[in-house]
Amino acid sequence: MGFIMLPMVLPEIIIGVSLLVVIVQMGFELSLFTIILGHILICTPFCIAILSSAFMNLDQSLEEASIDLGQTRWNTFRLVIFPLVMPGIVASLLIAFTISLDEFIIAFFLAGTEPTLPVYIWGQLRFPQKLPSLMALGTLLLLLSIGLLVLADFVRRRGLKKTGIESSGGFL
């Protein structure tokens, strides 16, 4: 668990540089695919944190009750476990999306000829005449991020309510 959480506390610049070295050493071309790999690494701890709290809030006897009532293991997952952890899954997807959308440093190191949006914006900053449209783009990006994070926490809280658990402070 601690090992999986490590990327959360490591400075991104270190992750970025070390991934670059490893990927180049292994002989891979830098592309959007390598950025995806880097982003999976930094999003995983966040997703695990949310999902493990969703699964831990689940009463284990619910699973046993379903099997006891004659249901198969697969249907137990489909009818009981999945609906109850669904909000956690949605929230973790949204958080991962937001992190990946905003992330600059790792994307900057690992981008080949295909930049992500933040890397593209940074590149365009050299041209003063493009500044107003970049400002607008930056604002949109910020609003989208905030919107998604709020949505993610809303979904998570609704899930907690559904299982009858009081919110324990919230992720945000």
Partner 1 sequence: MTQPIIQLSGVDKFYGDFQALSQIDLDIRTGEFFSLLGPSGCGKTTLLRSIAGFETPSVGSLHIDGKSMDRVPANKRPTNMVFQSYAIFPHMSVAQNVAYGLKARGLPKAEIHERVSEAIAMVGLQGFDSRASHALSGGQRQRVALARALVLKPRVLLLDEPLSALDKKMREQMQSELRRLQRAVGITFVLVTHDQEEALTMSDRIAVMFDGKIAQVATPQTLYGKPSSRRVGNFIGMMNFFDAKVLSTSGETVEVDVQSFGTVTLPLSQAPGGVEGCQSVGIRPEMLTILAEGRTAEREIEAVVSEVFYYGDMTYYDVNLPQKDAPVTVTMRNTAGRKVLAAGDTARVGWSPVSLLLLQ
| Stretch binding partner 1 (CB under 8 A), from 32-40, 80-88, 94-102, 113-121 | 80-88
164 binds partner 1 (CB under 8 A): yes
**Residues composing the chain:** 172
Transcribe 49-85 into DSSP letters: HHHHHHHHTS-HHHHHHHHHTT--HHHHIIIIIHHHH
Residue 65: count of CB within 10 angstroms of its CB: 13
* CA-closest candidate to residue 147, choices 102, 85, 103, 84: 102
**Smallest distance, partner 1 to C-beta of residue 80, A:** 6
**Smallest distance, partner 1 to C-beta of residue 151, A:** 20
Residue of 14, 22, 55, 64 that binds partner 1 (CB under 8 A): 64
| Stretch binding partner 1 (CB under 8 A), from 9-17, 75-83, 125-133, 138-146 | 75-83
83 binds partner 1 (CB under 8 A): yes
Q: Do 43 and 101 form a contact (C-beta atoms < 8 A)?
A: no
Positions touching partner 1 (CB under 8 A) are 59, 61-62, 64-72, 75, 79-80, 83-84, 162-164
